[in-house]
Amino acid sequence: MEYLIIIISAIFVSNIVLAQYLGICPFLGVSGKVSTSVGMSGAVLFVMTIATIVTWLIQTYILEPFGITFLQTISFILVIASLVQMVEIILKKISPPLYQALGIFLPLITTNCAVLGVALLTVSRNYNLMEGVVFAVASAFGFGLAMLLFAGIREHLDLMDVPKGMRGVPIALVTAGILALAFMGFIGLV
Amino acid sequence: MNQWKNFSKGFIKDNPVFVLLLGLCPTLAVTSSAINGLGMGLATTFVLVCSNMVVSLIKNLIPDKVRIPSFIVIIASFVTIVELIMEGFVPALFEALGIFIPLIVVNCIVLGRAEGFASKQSFISSLIDGLGMGLGFAFALTLLGAVREALGNGSIFGYKFIEGDAILVFILSPGAFIVLGYLIALLNRFKKAT
C-alpha cells in the first residue's frame, strides 16, 4: 500500500517535471519528436534507478557513520557523472542509432537535475532502500509520461499557425503550463 | 574583447534564462516570490564567479579528457560553501529554496560557462563574464518572481498592494511555465523592433 502511494504520487500528483520542476532542460530540449523522447526517458530511467541505489548506499554506509554529510553534493554528483559515462559507452556499443539521436543530451543527463534531485529527495525523505528504488522508478516513469505527452503535443504544434513572436520556445512553455494545469487535477488523489 | 560588452551581454543579448534557456529548473521552481528569485540568483552568481575564476586559473593544468569531471568537482565545492553559508546566515531562505541549493551544481549555466568560456579565456575576462552572466540570471529570476508574486499574491517583495486573494495559479507550477513563456515572447518582440 505504501509503495502504491509512492508510485501514484511520484507519477501523477507531484510529477517530477510538471510539479517539481526537475529535468526541464531535456524536457524542452529533446521533446520535439516522440521517438527521441522515448529514448531519453529510457536512459533517464536506467541512470536514475542505479544512481538512487548507489547514492543511498553511500549516504547510509559512508556519509552518515562518519558524520561527513556535508560532502553529500560532491559525492552524489561524482557518482552520477561516472554512471552517465558508463551508459554512454554501453549505448554507443549496443545501439548506435539511438546514441546518434540522443546526441548532446546524453552527457547532459549529468546535469539533468532530475537525477540528482531524486537522489537527494530519497535521502531527505528518509526512504529505505526499497522505497527509494520504487520512488526512483516511478519518478522516471513520471518523467517519461510528461515527455511523451509533451512530445505528442509538440508534433501537432509544428503544423499549427502560431503567432510570430510565440513561435518556438514561448509556445512550448505555455503548452507545458497548460499540461501542468491538467496534472493539478490529480491533487487530492493521495 | 571590450570588458563592458563582456559584462553587459548577460543581461539582455545573451541572457541565460530568456535567450540561452539554460538553468530553467531553478528558474521555474524558486520564483514563486521575488525575494526567493533574488536569493537564488545571487547564490548562483557567487558559484558562477568563483568557479569561473578557478577554472580559468587552472585550465592549463587539467588534462583535456578529465576536464568535465574536474569542473564539476570545482563547482560542487563552491555549492557546498554556499549551502553552509546560507544555512548559517539566512536559514529562512535556505528552507524556502530547499533542494534547489544543492541543485545549483547541475545548473547548466554554471558548467556551460566553465566549459564554454572560462576554460579558454583569461582570469579577468572569466571573472567579468561570471559576474555578468550571474547578475543577468539573478535579474531574470527576480523579474519572473516579481511578476508571479504580483499576479499570484498581489504583492512585490512581500509588500502587499492588493487586499484579498489574487490569481493563485500563478504561484503554482502552471503559472511558472506560462509567465516565462510570455516573458520570452515579449523579449523576442522587443528584439525584433531594435
- Per residue in B137-166, pLDDT (tens digit) is 999 999 999 999 888 888 888 777 777 777
- CA B122, distance to chain mean position in Å, is 23
Query: Do the chains contact at A73 and B102, CB–CB below 8 Å?
Result: yes
For position A56, what pLDDT does the model report? 92
For position B33, what pLDDT does the model report? 86
For position B1, what pLDDT does the model report? 56
- CA B5, distance to chain mean position in Å, is 19
Count of CB atoms situated within 10 Å of the CB of B86: 20
Phi, psi of B156 (to 5 degrees): -130, 130
- Listed in sequence order, the residues at least 6 apart from B137 whose beta carbon sits closer than 8 Å to its beta carbon are B10, B15, B16, B17, B23, B41, B44, B45, B48, B109
For position A138, what pLDDT does the model report? 93
Query: Do the chains contact at B177 and A81, CB–CB below 8 Å?
Result: no
Q: For B110-123, write each residue's pLDDT tens digit.
A: 888 888 888 888 88
| Chain A (23-52) residues lying within 8 Å, Cβ to Cβ, of chain B | 23-25, 28
* Assigned C-alpha cell, A47: 541512470
Query: Do the chains contact at A21 and B28, CB–CB below 8 Å?
Result: yes
The answer to whether the beta carbons of residues B188 and A170 sit under 8 Å apart is yes
Contacts of residues A84-93 at CB distance under 8 Å and 24 or more positions apart, as own/partner, are A84/A47, A84/A109, A84/A110, A87/A43, A87/A46, A87/A47, A91/A43
Instruction: Write down the residue that cell numbers 558559484 correspond to.
Output: B47
Q: Are strands B155-156 and B159-160 parallel, antiparallel or unpaired?
A: antiparallel
A80-101 burial, b for 16+ CB within 10 Å, e for fewer?
bbebbeebbeebeeeeeebbeb
pLDDT band at B193 (very low <50, low <70, confident <90, very high): low
DSSP string, B89-153: H-HHHHHHHGGGTGGGGG-HHHHHHIIIIITTS-HHHHHHHHHHHHHHHHHHHHHHHHHHHHHHH
> pTM, whole model, 2 decimals?
0.85
* Assigned C-alpha cell, B91: 536559514
CA distances from A182 to A97, A178, A187, B25, B151 (A): 34, 6, 10, 20, 20
* Cα nearest neighbour of A79 on chain B: B69
Instruction: Write down the residue that cell numbers 546566515 correspond to.
Output: B89
Q: For A111-146, write each residue's pLDDT tens digit.
A: 677 888 898 889 888 888 999 999 999 999 999 999
Domain-wise residue ranges, chain A: 2-189
* Assigned C-alpha cell, B131: 559576474
* Cα nearest neighbour of A112 on chain B: B106
For position A81, what pLDDT does the model report? 82
* Chain B residues whose beta carbon lies within 8 Å of the beta carbon of residue A21: 24-26, 28-29, 173, 176
- Closest Cα in chain A, distance from residue B189 (Å): 6
In this structure, which amino acid lies at residue B107? Answer: N
The answer to whether the beta carbons of residues B54 and A45 sit under 8 Å apart is no
Distance, in Å, from the CA atom of B116 to the CA atom of B120, rounded to the nearest integer, reads 7
On whether any CB of chain B is under 8 Å from the CB of A69, the answer is no
Domain-wise residue ranges, chain B: 3-193
| Chain A (100-119) residues lying within 8 Å, Cβ to Cβ, of chain B | 107-108, 110-113, 116-117
ipTM, two decimals, is 0.81
- Closest Cα in chain A, distance from residue B94 (Å): 15
* Assigned C-alpha cell, A164: 510570430
Give the torsion sign (CA, B35, B75, B6, B19): negative
In this structure, which amino acid lies at residue A57? Answer: L
* Cα nearest neighbour of B19 on chain A: A169
Query: Do the chains contact at B182 and A116, CB–CB below 8 Å?
Result: no
- DSSP-assigned beta bridge partners for residue A67: none
In this structure, which amino acid lies at residue B144? Answer: L
Best mean pLDDT range from A161-165, B89-93, B104-108: B89-93
- DSSP-assigned beta bridge partners for residue B160: B155
Best mean pLDDT range from A40-44, A93-97, B12-16, B82-86: B82-86
- CA A175, distance to chain mean position in Å, is 19
The answer to whether the beta carbons of residues A63 and A76 sit under 8 Å apart is no
Closest Cβ opposite residue A169 in set B21, B26, B80: B21
For position A53, what pLDDT does the model report? 92
- Is the pLDDT at B60 greater than 90? The verdict is no
* Chain B residues whose beta carbon lies within 8 Å of the beta carbon of residue A172: 181
For position B192, what pLDDT does the model report? 67
